[in-house]
Amino acid sequence: MALRCDVLAVGTELLLGQIIDSNSAWIGGELAAGGIDSLVQVKVGDNVGRIEVQLRRLLDDADAVIMCGGLGPTHDDLTRDAIAAVMGVELVEDEAIGDLIREMFEARGRPMPESNLRQAQVPVGASIIPQTRGTAPGLICPVIVGGVEKVMYAVPGVPNEMKDMFERAILPDLRQRSGEESVIVSRVLRTWGDSESGLNERLNDVIEQLEGPDTPTLAFLASGWEGLKVRLTAKAETLEAGEQQLSYWEGVVRAEIDNLVFGVDDDTMESVVLDLCRQRGLTLAVAESVTGGLVGARLTGVAGSSDVFRGSIVSYASDVKQQLLGVGDGPVVSEVAARQMAAGVRDKLGADIGLSLTGVAGPDEQDGQPVGTLYFGMVGPGFEEVRHVRLPALREQMRQFSVITALGFLRGHLDELPIK
């Protein structure tokens, strides 16, 4: 059976939302890449009793627990105390660590507060992970739970210190304890055009085939304007075997939903659109009303976009649409206005393709159109098209969905054009 290592993040600031717990996410990804199962991540505040309770609960099921945070010099840094309680031992000062901390302060020409020696306290029986980037060392702490030897690791919450200790000491120790060489690999298919439940229904037959012990797992992740992700995760003895497994099952999934898949892994809708334009020798300009520049921001966020993207005109006010883009009198949230905006920005910025977005983000209706209305148009060499959709009525969600919806529309059209 594979080794299981769960994660316990310590710090009241995590519970209050003052700091986002990115450490646990990073650790989870690294454990997966190293072939170590990790099934539970928990956050707990700076209270020694509650830390101890959560630590014991995790150790009931897991073979190992990585504790992140709570190793600093102040009164509320209680990770060491909780570990000592679980081990049933005392904390003792490690003189070598104390001397090292003193030397660090002396090298910086600063007096050392005595409280810093808290970081030199070590549970009896624990091993040290030497600190190379700060003052608090990490800990490797074996413990017997139900007659079975398990292990607790403690690392600082400072990300660069945590990552260094994980790579240098924790992952090698876990691999040695597991006695098993395996990898966990994932592939993410990014989709747009159907709901999570709709995708699930389309893939029901595939999901039934994936219930065997030697098949990948499949999960859905709704990610706003990043698309709806379909993640395949496989465990194998080697990276090559894992990738082969993923490639086979990606083909099976694509056979059901390929028309909805716009990219893989780190692809974004905007990076895909730019690549498609580049392959076809086409340049792009955007006229934005409802999105207020969000499309342009997403496109320019992709390195190298300048060879394709000519620019964006944020024509928020009606008279700007009329004066800059040639929109006529009448409703500016309409099929006619969207077509005129696309043609106008194409001509104004000298692009091959003009893309436009106009709609109602709220809070009130406009031009007789309800909140959530989006018209988007595309004008290029030999083609002209406008679409109308209804999106969620929450303002920011509507604006973000407008971006990926319009770019997705453009992607579908570009796919049909010949490559130069």
Both structure tokens of 9: 């993040």
Both structure tokens of 252: 């099976």
Q: What is the pLDDT of residue 1?
A: 56
Residues of the chain with CATH 3.40.980.10: 5-178
Tens of pLDDT, residue by residue over 235-292, are 888 889 999 999 999 999 999 999 999 999 999 999 999 999 999 999 999 999 999 9
Tens of pLDDT, residue by residue over 321-379, are 999 999 999 999 999 999 999 999 999 999 999 999 999 998 888 888 999 999 999 99
CA 185 distance to own-chain centroid: 16
- The secondary structure of residue 225, as a DSSP letter, is G
Range 136-152 average pLDDT: 94
Tens of pLDDT, residue by residue over 168-206, are 999 999 988 988 667 778 899 999 999 889 999 999 999
Residues of the chain with CATH 3.90.950.20: 269-415
Tens of pLDDT, residue by residue over 297-316, are 999 999 999 999 999 999 99
Domain 5-178 fold is: Molybdenum Cofactor Biosythetic Enzyme; Chain A (3.40.980)
CATH number of 269-415: 3.90.950.20
Residue 262 three-state SS: strand
Q: From 3.40.600.10, 2.30.40.10, 3.30.70.580, 3.30.70.2860, which CATH number describes the 183-264 domain?
A: 3.30.70.2860
| Rounded CA Rg of the chain | 28
Residues of the chain with CATH 3.30.70.2860: 183-264
Residues in contact with 229: Cβ distance below 8 Å, sequence separation at least 6, in sequence order: 188, 189, 190, 191, 220, 221, 222, 223
